Amino acid sequence: MPIKIPQAKKKTEKKASGGRKIPFQSPKGMHDRLPADFLYFDKIEKAIKKVSLFYGFDRLETPLLEDIKLFERGTGLTSEIVQKQMFTVKTKGDGVLALRPEMTPGVVRAYIENGLQYVSNPGKFFYCGPVFRYEQPQHGRFRQFYQVGFEVLNSDDAAYDAQIIIASLKIFEELKLKNVVVKLNTIGCKNCRAAYVKKLKEYYKNKTGDLCRDCAKRYTENPLRLLDCKQEKCQPLKAQAPQTLDFLCAACKAHFKSVLEYLDGGQIPYLIDATLVRGLDYYSRSVFEFFAEGVDFAIGGGGRYDYLSETLGGPKMPAVGSACGVERMIEAMKLQDVHISSKSAYKAFLIYMGDQAKKQGMLLLDEFYKAGIPVKESFAKESLKSQLRLADKEKVDYALILGQREVFEEVILLRDMKSGTQEAIPLKKIVAELKKRI
Ligand code: HAM
């Protein structure tokens, strides 16, 4: 049976422990990560660490705040993220910093700034952390959310496009997500894309009146994103639009063919979606997104970004990467009833009665710490009954019971929580005894 994780209460229901409402709430679209949520978060972090170890990605972490220009130039002025979704902070001078709305430009900056190309080439990195987008919060869409992702810097090898897709799929596999679909497309390079965009503009030229307001803007600012529109009104035109695949230059064609061959070789199923273009400006060649059965939003996405470094003023540095939305993967896990083990991290529960026992218990916890055995306590509770109830709730295998008499006799009762049997063990031997049993 999957365990039930309590959903966060509606803001209006939030109450202080005394029953009174507190006058503060977490900001709109931002949520507390409660202890029960970490059953999922920890699993996801464990998954990306495991996959990264096997595929050779090292952890890299960039600051939460970056120069706003990094995203204006990197993520791109025509992207919705930069146009509408940045949280900004004015510095004391005239500078403006932005809370990172995504990780990729920061990773590229860090790679170049720290001279990592001399240490790790190609640079293969993974990350996990919060990102911020000023969006209208709705189901699966938050203002602070977490991403885990991979980047391969300084290589244009199609094998890495495939490896990024495979590594992302391995995360979903680790999380036991079923029926994940990879949608894949190529949007060509600078050269072949120009011819395609020209054709696309010609196609839409006399039809702008039939487009939604955003698409009318996209027609002039970033025509490729006309294909990304989800509005009902724009779908018929989108369906008949020219496709990037028909305009690829020989090099892009060969690159895409190679990506597909690597995926086929690894028996990785995918769907080619000619309308997939992604919403960030830096992409070139391969673009992809991941969808899980039961959820109607992408749980991850990425692609190649061969020009990002140069756009930021850095060296020529082809690259490819992907990022997955942690909250969205959790939502998919819940919808798919993925079982999450709720086994306690604690091996035993320390129960005390009286002041002397409490003092002795404090010393004992230190002994367990040194032995690497986590033991839980509840020093704020005094009655045996309520402490036993907590031990039961924690689902530990053993309770360690220390009363005044035990302190006097220098023993402790070791109670097997399943059978209910208990025996007195000399205090000096309890750490070794518990170690033997767990
Ligand atoms: P992205 O598609 O903007 O790509 O975001 C990646 C994933 O983050 C999405 O597929 C989704 O699961 C999650 N996500 C996005 N917005 C939200 C939101 N408001 N609330 C909850 N989850 C969200 C990037 O960020 C690129 N940096 C990916 C990449 C890495 N491309 C190359 N390397």
Q: Is the pLDDT of residue 13 over 80?
A: no
Each residue of 326-373: pLDDT tens digit?
A: 999 999 999 999 998 878 889 899 999 999 999 999 999 999 999 999
- List the one residue out of 295, 289, 291 whose CA is nearest residue 332: 295
Look at residue 228 and tell me if it is in a domain: no
Residue whose CA lies nearest to ligand 1 atom number 16: 141
User: Does the beta carbon of 381 lie inside 6 Å of ligand 1?
Assistant: no
**One domain for residues 358 and 429:** yes
Q: What is the CATH number of the domain that holds 411?
A: 3.40.50.800
Look at residue 15 and tell me if it is in a domain: no
Kindly state the tokens that stand for 128: 């996990």
What is the atom index within ligand 1 of the atom nearest the CA of 300? Answer: 10
User: Does the beta carbon of 304 lie inside 6 Å of ligand 1?
Assistant: no
Q: Is the pLDDT of residue 382 over 50?
A: yes
96-116 in b/e form (b: 16+ CB < 10 A) is ebbbbbbbbbbbbbbbbeeeb
What is the atom index within ligand 1 of the atom nearest the CA of 147? Answer: 8
For residue 41, the CA-to-ligand 1 centroid distance in Å is: 17
User: Does the beta carbon of 327 lie inside 6 Å of ligand 1?
Assistant: yes
Model confidence at 230, pLDDT cuts 50, 70, 90, reads: confident
pTM exceeding the 0.85 threshold for the entire prediction: yes
Look at residue 103 and tell me if it is in a domain: yes
Mean pLDDT (whole number) for 122-134: 98
**One domain for residues 329 and 291:** yes
**More confidently predicted of 10 and 183:** 183
Domain's final residue, options 298, 314, 335:
335
**One domain for residues 73 and 138:** yes
For residue 48, the CA-to-ligand 1 centroid distance in Å is: 16
User: Does the beta carbon of 111 lie inside 6 Å of ligand 1?
Assistant: no
Number of folded domains that form the chain? 2
Residue whose CA lies nearest to ligand 1 atom number 17: 141
Domain's final residue, options 285, 312, 335:
335
Q: In DSSP terms, which residues pair with 411 in a beta bridge?
A: 426
Each residue of 285-331: pLDDT tens digit?
A: 999 999 999 888 999 999 999 999 999 999 999 999 999 999 999 99
**One domain for residues 158 and 56:** yes
What is the overall mean pLDDT for the chain?
93
**One domain for residues 320 and 428:** no
For residue 301, the CA-to-ligand 1 centroid distance in Å is: 6
Range of the domain at 403: 348-437
**One domain for residues 314 and 357:** no
pLDDT of residue 18: 65
Q: Is the pLDDT of residue 435 over 70?
A: yes
User: Does the beta carbon of 142 lie inside 6 Å of ligand 1?
Assistant: yes
Among 57, 102, 134, 141, name the best residue to mutate to test ligand 1's pocket (greatest count of ligand atoms within 8 A of Cβ).
Answer: 102
**One domain for residues 268 and 388:** no
Q: Is the pLDDT of residue 262 over 50?
A: yes
* Percent of the chain surpassing pLDDT 90: 85
Among 60, 103, 141, 147, name the best residue to mutate to test ligand 1's pocket (greatest count of ligand atoms within 8 A of Cβ).
Answer: 147
Mean pLDDT (whole number) for 195-212: 92
